[in-house]
Chains A and B, each alone.
Chain A
Amino acid sequence: MLINWFTVVAQAINFLILAWLLKRFLFKPILHVIDERAKGIAAQFAEAEAKKTLAQTERDDFQHKNETFDRDRAALLQKAEAEAERRRLLELAHHEADAVRAKRHESLRIEQRGLSQEIGRWVQKEVFAITRKTLADLAAANLEERIVAVFLEHVRSLSGEAKDQMTAALTTSADPARIRSAFDLPPAQRATIENAVKQSFAVETRFEFETAPELIGGIELSKGGRKLAWSIADYLGTLEKSARELMHQDPPQAPKPEDKAKTDSKPDPKLESKPKAGPVREPRSDLAAAGMAPKANP
């Protein structure tokens, strides 16, 4: 017999138990986990979708902001450029105005200087002529003689440190002492000067006479880098200054000392000493005296 009925019943029960066991341990857990995962995936998808939407919104927002920013920036840039251009043009105009002003100032200054020179020259000429004429009229001697006399008087009256320095210069140098004058000195005057110098400084030296037309109405003794000079330029300078002030043309700072010297281009009235300015004062006062009172000592 192929069929054992007890086995049939037993197998049927066995099968039902197995079906229950499989349902309990296999199908239910597996289906449950699949459902869970499906739910999880759905949730993830939903989340991703939400995130995507959010990202989209944010991106749109950001794009919008970016555009606004770009627009604002362009506008600001344009404004700044316009401002910079305006400033540049303004600066350029300032520069040009300054240049024009400086140029004008310079030409004014040149004109002024020319005028001052002209006046100086004219004053010099006039004063010299007047002086010469006055001296010629009032004294027996001519102007040159009077100048020599004044010069010699100062050589003699030179004293103190200035005299020592001049003496030293005359003694130490082997060169001849140079006498420069604006006019030709006659031999008698030359001898007088030589004697006066020799006596005054108690030295024995050779003399060399030279005519320098640029020393208008002046005379100077130079030796070994030292110079004893006399001229009427100081008086002329004073006169010129007074004239200038009178004309209100030249502010005090405009003509510089160098300019003045250049303009004058005549013998310095000062007794110049390179290392020291000591001997300068005396001749000046004397010059003033000479200019003011030409007839006192003919």
Chain B
Amino acid sequence: MRLSPDDLIFWRHGFVVLNSTILTTWLLMLGMTIGSWLITRKLVTESRIPRWQGFLEIVVTSIESQIQEVGLRDPEKYLGFLGGLFLFIAVSNLCAILPGYEPPTGSLSTTSALAISVFLATPFFGVLDQGWRGYLASYLKPTPFMLPFNVLSEISRTFALAIRLFGNVMSGTMIVGILLSITPLVFPIFMNLLGLLTGMVQAYIFSILATVYIAAATRGGEEPDPITTTKGHPWKA
């Protein structure tokens, strides 16, 4: 049994490999882009809108309002990164319903890549918002003694992000695989449903945490408690 879709390699040349993770990601990217393009190429501004447009509008405005709720004043600036994060994870998890599909988020490489992206995006947006001095000053708060702990926290939460998503998605796929070998009928369907729910929840957690980190960096203040910030969702920690 493969633990990661990385192990399914289609082509290799030196250290360059084309494995299932990359290929699936490309396919997802293609599908999402074409789908978006198909829907948004004929948007209407009248009061009566097509259903697909209505659905996408709901998705986009929900993401935007979530970002705003966390505390980012100008959600449109972060919408590309945070919304892309959420949609990529959500779509790749939801596609697990398709037979023979292995979600790229079940690969530690992908989750690490996403976590590293967040790790880099946090100072990027922080510097963009407050400048170098303001951003770096935030590491010395509340006292300069906290500098090592702040840096440590920065790194550890990146690992936590990567491991959390990988563990959840991989375990979901693994559980379905194991159950299929034990009870091949009916029961795997419920596990699959649970997997879909977990996938959505993980997508939400990952993106909301990224939002919280970026919000903390841009505000220059202390990092807000994610639980109190996103009240009503205690399980996302």
Contact of B113 with A27 in the complex, beta carbons under 8 Å = no
For residue A19, which residue of chain B has the nearest CB? B84
Contact of A19 with B37 in the complex, beta carbons under 8 Å = no
Contact of B47 with A22 in the complex, beta carbons under 8 Å = no
Contact of B87 with A14 in the complex, beta carbons under 8 Å = no
- B residues near A14, Cβ cutoff 8 Å: 22, 25-26, 29, 113
Residues on B facing A (Cβ under 8 Å): 3-4, 6, 15-17, 19, 21-22, 25-26, 28-29, 32-33, 36-37, 40, 43-47, 49, 53, 56-57, 60-61, 64, 76, 79-81, 83-85, 87-88, 104, 107-110, 112-114, 116-117, 166
Contact of A27 with B79 in the complex, beta carbons under 8 Å = yes
- B residues near A10, Cβ cutoff 8 Å: 22, 113
Contact of A18 with B45 in the complex, beta carbons under 8 Å = no
Interface mask (A160-203 → B, CB under 8 Å = 1, otherwise 0) = 00000000000000000000000000000000000000000000
Question: Would you give the shortest CB distance from A26 to chain B, in whole angstroms?
Answer: 4
Contact of A31 with B114 in the complex, beta carbons under 8 Å = no
A sample of 9 inter-chain contacts (CB < 8 A) reads A3-B109, A11-B104, A15-B113, A18-B88, A20-B84, A22-B84, A27-B80, A30-B60, A33-B45
A245-B57 Cα distance, complex, nearest whole Å: 123
- B residues near A40, Cβ cutoff 8 Å: 45-47
A4-B112 Cα distance, complex, nearest whole Å: 10
- A residues near B26, Cβ cutoff 8 Å: 14
- Residue tally, chain A, CB below 8 Å to B: 34
For residue A5, which residue of chain B has the nearest CB? B109
A274-B199 Cα distance, complex, nearest whole Å: 140
- A residues near B57, Cβ cutoff 8 Å: 30, 33-34
Residues on A facing B (Cβ under 8 Å): 2-12, 14-23, 25-27, 29-34, 36-37, 40-41
A34-B112 Cα distance, complex, nearest whole Å: 35
Q: A15-B88, A22-B33 are in contact. Are A6 and B113 (CB under 8 A)?
A: no
Contact of A15 with B117 in the complex, beta carbons under 8 Å = yes
A20-B88 Cα distance, complex, nearest whole Å: 12
Contact of A11 with B43 in the complex, beta carbons under 8 Å = no
- B residues near A41, Cβ cutoff 8 Å: 47
Q: A8-B113, A15-B117 are in contact. Are A25 and B33 (CB under 8 A)?
A: yes
For residue B58, which residue of chain A has the nearest CB? A30
Contact of B113 with A2 in the complex, beta carbons under 8 Å = no
A280-B79 Cα distance, complex, nearest whole Å: 140
Contact of A21 with B33 in the complex, beta carbons under 8 Å = yes
- Nearest 8 pairs of A and B residues by beta carbon: A19-B84, A23-B80, A11-B113, A7-B109, A29-B40, A26-B36, A12-B113, A25-B36
A11-B6 Cα distance, complex, nearest whole Å: 11
Contact of A4 with B17 in the complex, beta carbons under 8 Å = yes
Instruction: State which of B17, B83, B116 has its C-beta within 8 Å of the C-beta of A7.
Output: B17
Contact of A17 with B29 in the complex, beta carbons under 8 Å = yes
A50-B29 Cα distance, complex, nearest whole Å: 48
For residue A2, which residue of chain B has the nearest CB? B108
Instruction: State which of A7, A20, A23, A33 has its C-beta within 8 Å of the C-beta of B43.
Output: A33
For residue B25, which residue of chain A has the nearest CB? A14
Question: Would you give the shortest CB distance from B23 to chain A, in whole angstroms?
Answer: 10
Contact of A8 with B112 in the complex, beta carbons under 8 Å = yes
For residue A23, which residue of chain B has the nearest CB? B80
A8-B6 Cα distance, complex, nearest whole Å: 10
